[in-house]
Structures are given as structure tokens and as C-alpha cells.
Amino acid sequence: MVVRVSFRRGRATGAHRQIESEAYKAAKAHGRPILREFSHCPTPANLLERVGNLVGLVSGAAITDNPNIGVLQLGDGRVMCLTETTKGSTLIDPESLETVGRFSYTDRIGGMYMVQSAHPIVTKSEFLTVLPDLARPGHLVVKMEAGSNERKVIGRVDCRGGPTPGWLHSFAVTENYVVVPEMPLRYSSTSLLKSELAPFYVFDWLPVSGSYMHVMCKSTGKTVASVEVPPFMAFHFINAYEEEGEIIVDCCEHNGDPAIIETLVLHRLRSFRDKDVLPNARVGRFRIPLDGSPYGELETALDPEEHGRGIDMCRINPARLGKKYRYAYACGARRPCNFPNMLSKIDLVEKKAKNWHEEGVVPSEPFFVARPGATDEDDGVVISIVSSDDGEGYALVLDAATFEEIGRVRFPYGLPYGMHGCWIPAKN
């Protein structure tokens, strides 16, 4: 489902609409999920179905196209909802929220490149993303010019660990480089081949396989650095920039522990509402040397107590993408909790956080919208869709500088937890 809040002349209007994916239509027709989702795998009733599932996985027919991770505006104005399967890229009409149809890539990049990062880097001029290679462990970095449906290959990095590529939910860019993470949470070949869930859905946690960060030059496609780093577990990269012979890369890092994935299972969220069971997380800062050194560093950017030892679903001022920056906005934790329940503004210079919290609510990813004509990095507002435990919800608008509430727009009905959103400026 996609939810929209429109702000016009001091008033706000809400709307929502179901995205008509094939996965949704099949689930509706059968009364249960039919395709393979992130945390759901249809159980084959017999050997024939098992073989059918395997064929469906290889062809892509059995995997979901449910684009429930994010929504973004392409450089040419089209609006795309997406998930980690390439086939899930779906265009919607931003006015009516109607499903326009599947975004068809016109290139020949297919085969085992059936998954993609859920977080492409999109600017006015291009769409840049990373595709894991499930057949020959590696990652393909591709870009697509605004207005085009054709992805072009920038380059490829081979994975240094194995036997499969590391999960890559998001990645980072600097002005000149693409940073490709290789986490020890790797696609599970057993899960893929046997059509069953691995300990972490479709992933295995293999710290002995090593953790790496690769740096690719955007213009040549050459890998200019590939370093081993301490084990890390990150869904979301915050930003990256170049600085005196090294690259700084920040992410929401779960202390090298994949337990966060189990924590987010629905029955656990329902069972441990008042327990302090949310695993600790921090702002992890990688330092990647560009002088050929074999190792990179991973440090904690600020005391995690500043944001309640929880941090994820991060955003920055998009004008600072790939550049030195100071502020990040994310979901933090007011303990005790079993889920991120706070909004945090992280100051990476002062190493402090400002926090917003209200009892009994869960805010979704806070995204930053600059004031027109702004020059200060935090001159603007932060918007988050908030679900409350009384069954209602509201869009919250905070002053990005003070992190104090400017206003809220109540919905007359409950809102499902929002994943990732975007701001689309009005045409006039």
C-alpha cells in the first residue's frame, strides 16, 4: 500500500491505495501468499512442486514483485515503488496512486541478476544501483540516465568471501566513487535451492567468510580499493565522502550481529511489547584507505546512548549526498522497547543527538525536506508517518534545526508501518 500526504496552502490531505502487484493479485485470489517473499516461502506439497519452485526461482516467476520497500521519484518525474526483486520495480501515478504497471528495463541485464538494492541512488540526472550476482558471487554496479529505461554497466566487483554474495540492501556513493559493501550475511544457496527459509530468511550469517568494502570509480568502473573490515550488519548506509586519502562511510550498524532480523518477526513484536529486547545499534563509521592498505577501520561515530542504542531508517539532506555532512535523521530507541520508537537527529560534529518521542507510537523513517532557498544543512523540516497504539496515525512535521514539532496531520484510520518514503515537490 502506498500512503500520501499532500501539503497545499496550509492544509493537508491524506490518501492511500493498494499497489496492484502480481503478488498481491495472486494472494488475493488464493487467500494466502503464493509467491516467495522476504520472510515467507510457500511450502511445496510434493516433489513436483519442489521442482516447480526451483524452476520458478531460477526463472524469477516464483519470486515476489510486491514493491513494499520504498517509493521514489525518478529524474524524469516518473514515480517508482520498489523492492529487492528487479521485477518488483513498479510505476505508479503520483496523483491517483493508481498502479501504472511494471517498470520494464529495456537492457539485456537479466539471468541471475534478479535482485537489486532496495535503495538506488536517484538524482535529477541518473538512477544508480547495485545488482548482486547470485551465480558468480559479485556485484554489478549499473546506472540509468533520467528518462531512459536502459541500465548501463559501470563495473563489477567480485566478492572476496563466499560461497554467495553478501546481502546488499543499500550502498553508498561519494562524488567520485561507489562504495559496495560485502557483508557476512550472505544469500543462502540452500534456501534458494531447497525452497525453504534459512536461519535469516534467505540469508546465512557467515562471519568466517569475511567482511569487505569495495570502492569503484564511477567514471572508469575500476575497483580502486578493496579492504577487509570487522564483521558488520547494516541495512542502511547513511552517506559517504572523500577525505584526505580515505573514504568515510557511515551506516546504521547492528554491532556485527544479525539478531535484529529475528527481532522484527511479527509474533516477537507482538509478544515482547514492553520488554527491552531491541538489539543495540550504533552509527558505524568506516574508514577506507585509498593507498592500497588491506584493512579498513570501523568505529562508533557517537555514543549510542545519545539515541537510545537504537538507530536505523536514516536520511540526510539530499544536497549533501556524497559530500561531507553533519546531520542525519533516523529512528532511535526510547528504552525499554522492542522496536525503534523515537526520532533522532544525529549531529556528527558535536557527537550529540536531539530526540523526539511520544508514548505509545511508532514513527517511520524521517525524511528531510529543505526550505526553498535554504543554505544551512538543517534548514527545513523532517516528516515522519507515525502509527499509534490507539489504532490511529498521523503525519508529523518537525523543525529540522530544533527538532521540535511544528504540526501533525491526523488520519481518521490506522496506518500500517511505513517503510521508506519520499518528498515530491508540487509542479507549480
Q: Where do the H-state alpha helices sit in 278-387?
A: none
Q: By the 8 A CB rule, do 160 and 209 touch? A: no
User: How far is it, in rounded angstroms, from Cα 100 to Cα 389?
Assistant: 33
User: How far is it, in rounded angstroms, from Cα 170 to Cα 120?
Assistant: 7
User: How far is it, in rounded angstroms, from Cα 70 to Cα 90?
Assistant: 11
Number of DSSP helices (H) and strands (E) in the chain, helices first: 5, 29
3-state secondary structure (DSSP) of residue 277: coil
Q: Checking DSSP bridges between strand 327-332 and strand 342-347, what pairing results, if any?
A: antiparallel
Residue 30 in marked binding region:
no
Residue 307 in marked binding region:
no
DSSP state of 36: B
- Kindly report the backbone phi and psi dihedral angles of residue 426, in degrees, each rounded to the nearest multiple of 5, phi listed first: -65, 155
Residue 236 in marked binding region:
yes
Which H or E run contains 23? helix 22-30
Taking the chain, what is the end-to-end CA distance rounded to the nearest angstrom?
27
DSSP state of 201: B
CA distances 132 to 51, 59, 104, 182, 411, Å, are 24, 16, 19, 10, 39
- Binding site, annotated residues for Fe cation: 119, 169, 236, 420
- Binding site, annotated residues: 119, 169, 236, 420
